[in-house]
Structure 1
């Protein structure tokens, strides 16, 4: 049965993202919109708008216009934000690129999206130039945010005197083409319109207490939709100050929070592990933190409560995916009493279903099925991939998330696993996420991932890849298996353990199970 959000629908203006975010800064015009956490350099809202207009004008002079795609391949910085909105202001489309991509992966995205220009930074030039050459883009099509000989720069665009073009885009036009993480197959371009992005900002505004005096930490990458919408654009929408970091480094992360007195920190679960367990955390004054919000992967409640207790803050969790712009469910700021294993309620304007993946039957409270989501934040489809679009987006407009969820009578949703990642042990379903959450409570385990592998009899069994903590160097495989066996049903027991140095993860913090499966295949 369809389950509507318990929150009333919000009005969604028919506007471009630029018009929605950059209209009427008022008394916030001279306030810092963005602060570079490393250097302390700041850009006010008025200065940012001026930069965006200049960039749009410079792009128009270079022939970039309506429907053209521009790639943004760089780490987080205030300039990333200016270029992103400059491209949209020029009536063009941004395709945001994972800053860890190899030349081959970047070339695929440039080719698939049809990008005509690439913005990058000089440390990434070797990869950017190799990828551009592979797809036939000339050197002058690579623009650097800093400076590099032989390439136009952001400084050149900002020095121009031309006027920006007239705005021609509407809410129905494509705004961004982020690429899905590729944890199940090759990355696909996700078509998100201006209306999708505007809608999601209006929807999440009803759930959180983000105001003009809020400082938001943006350490998760802007190229990922979580960073793009929830940190970068929410900051602009709510006239809050966004403090940027180019990458996650725990001491620097803690320093930036402490020094800039950041009140709202968005993380992925691996950061929660560090905040709960690492001794260095006690060396910093983190009393400024009001809310830590976790997304991108399920957060275990025990881990979340450990962070909340250690830091004296509220820990919340949400759910989303690139195809949802990205948020569809979250715990509101005023409901910290909700089960922290849950991802809270559906946000305004969202209708959900739980569907049995084997029978197709719609389930109600108490059922366990694939989560389907419908709302104004749902993507238009996958770029150049009608087959994948048809599989994921049905005729009624419901997006089939591939995630298994439950829901209570009160409308509180909990993600329990991925449809395609469930391990089938002797006919029983074993959720890897449940085992991972349990193992992370072991005081000698720093990180863990679980996948299904075949045993000598061809049966699929759970295998745990375990990263020991520094004080856990003597931890054995038998001890790990015994820890699980004492706390869980027999069919869910971990039956194979391998100790590794690091769990492979995407930039947003999702476990790259495909890499672990490839490792397993290579070893067999």
Structure 2
């Protein structure tokens, strides 16, 4: 293969190949994700798989395997059959992974919704997915009652009865589950448009488990204690803490709801070594460093950030506050069933790149105008191909064909480049690029600078229609408490960056030309800015723009 230096790029194919050795993926057709994950060695039987951060209750690997069979039998006795969609609407809790495995063991399809969604949003998802059963918590019962003719199953009494009560009646022979069967129906974050149901097979999730295990064990990070504060109803949480951590035989400490001091207390108590996080958590760790110092985090080795780009300013501040901790980034999509780039094995205290593509994956950087595959250090759309890539979007052949071409390449919609070492960098979402006159402006570049202002807590940049320029960059800014920051202060701050310290980053056409102050920036569970919510806001619809072009 004619690789170019260390980048993994082949000039003859236009493809970037992973520099990691690829493991052999299981080929047995009759294999489910639960069977694969629960076929562990006897040495793991008494080891905690999951620990409740607040109560200290533990679920060992042996208990996880035994109780998965019990949950499967109980669901079967409720009439759930292969192919049925079961919706779990719940925050994190100790037995969340158990329900995931129990549903999939039956050949049913696991789906989830954000508990913060409105009743109408969840009803839309229930109808779209044809869910036949909803598992939820007592707190959410009122919001979800009546969405299905079948009664809700409240997870607390359901599990308590299974764990402490008599075993469910023995089931008839369960259906065969194959790698090609649908395992999950996870909804995309819908940052720029309507959320879509991503169909994931057992083969997709088994591949993700194998590839994470291969990288983590090769990097010496197999026997770790992970902190789970990101939501398990999101693909980042599901892939890392169900597929990945169980595959390597590590332990996960689960926090029901993110709160900084609760997380720090649990990390100290249970000796957490790795913390997967989203950008707002990393920012909070640095801004509340004095609070963090009160806790013993000597075991913490790495924070792995994903979900949205993390600005260099925040990375540098983090390394100053936590000199003993490596700050890494990874990248994945709901459509890839988890992370497809990792920073494992890359030297350095923090990683501006999102790492290298994982084993068995291939990538292309494609010119968004010509469709030509690009060599290292040139911007283009990131295409991905490999075993974890989804089967498609539910009930939408058109959307599937737009996302995955006839050669099997997933078009991510992300503007990226790969350097000569094979490290991948995200510039921005292509759909979010602002088309100012003849130029394209990446909002993420401007947001990274805006948050360096001492009186800016958070910021987002969106486009706004303009008759002369087509679109202009408009900043939505959350001010610090008691700040007297005005629109012209923000505009002048950015203009000074053009003239002074960021000449290569903020070219004159990238200047902020309008500012509005907001109470908060809407974000997804993974930290992505929900720009469509900002654009749809009635506040912005009523704005009178008198922009400086």
SS of corresponding position for 1:236 = helix
Match of 2:100 among 61, 84, 101: 84
Counterparts of residues 3-402 of structure 1 (less than 5 Å): 3-14=16-27, 15-132=31-148, 137-139=149-151, 142-147=152-157, 153-158=158-163, 159=165, 160-163=167-170, 165-166=173-174, 168-208=176-216, 209=219, 211=221, 213-278=223-288, 279-311=290-322, 312-332=324-344, 334-337=345-348, 340-402=351-413
Spell out, residue by residue over 1:305-344, the C-alpha distance to the aligned partner (whole angstroms, 9 max, x if none).
Answer: 3213312200000111000012121211x21339722111
Aligned residues: 511
Matched residues in 2 for 1:462 and 1:522: separation? 15
CA distance in 2, matches of 1:123, 1:457: 51
Q: Answer yes or no: is the 8 Å Cα contact 1:210–1:238 preserved in 2.
A: no
Quote the Cα distance in structure 2 between the aligned partners of 1:360 and 1:321.
22
Q: Which runs of 5+ in 1 are unaligned?
A: 148-152
Q: Is the 8 A contact 1:436 1:450 kept in 2?
A: yes
Deviations 1:224-257 (A, max 9, x none): 1100011233221111111111222222222222
Separation of aligned partners in 2, 1:110 and 1:46: 33
Distance 1:360 1:157 in 2: 55
Distance 1:163 1:238 in 2: 31
Instruction: For 2:60 and 2:264, locate their aligned partners in 1 and report how far apart those are by CA, in whole Å.
Output: 24
1:441-520 counterparts in 2 under 5 A? Answer: 441-455=452-466, 457=468, 459-470=470-481, 473-487=483-497, 488-519=506-537, 520=539
Cα deviations across residues 331-373 of structure 1 (Å, max 9, x unaligned)?
11x2133972211111111111111122212211122111000
Deviation per CA, 1:454-488: give whole Å up to 9, x if none: 34746411111122234x61333323222222222
TM-score, normalising length: structure 1:
0.93
Assess if the C-alpha contact under 8 Å between 2:319 and 2:350 holds in 1.
no
Query: Shift of the alpha carbon at 1:495?
Result: 1.5
C-alpha displacement at 1:220, in angstroms?
A: 0.8
Query: SS state of the match for residue 524, structure 2?
Result: coil
Q: CA RMSD, aligned part only?
A: 1.8
Kindly state the Cα deviation for residue 286 of structure 1 after the two structures are TM-superposed: 2.3
The aligned residue for residue 150 of structure 1 is none
Moved more, 372-381 or 337-346: 337-346
Partner Cα separation in structure 1 for residue 337 and residue 244 of structure 2: 12
Separation in 1 of the partners of 2:131 and 2:41? 32
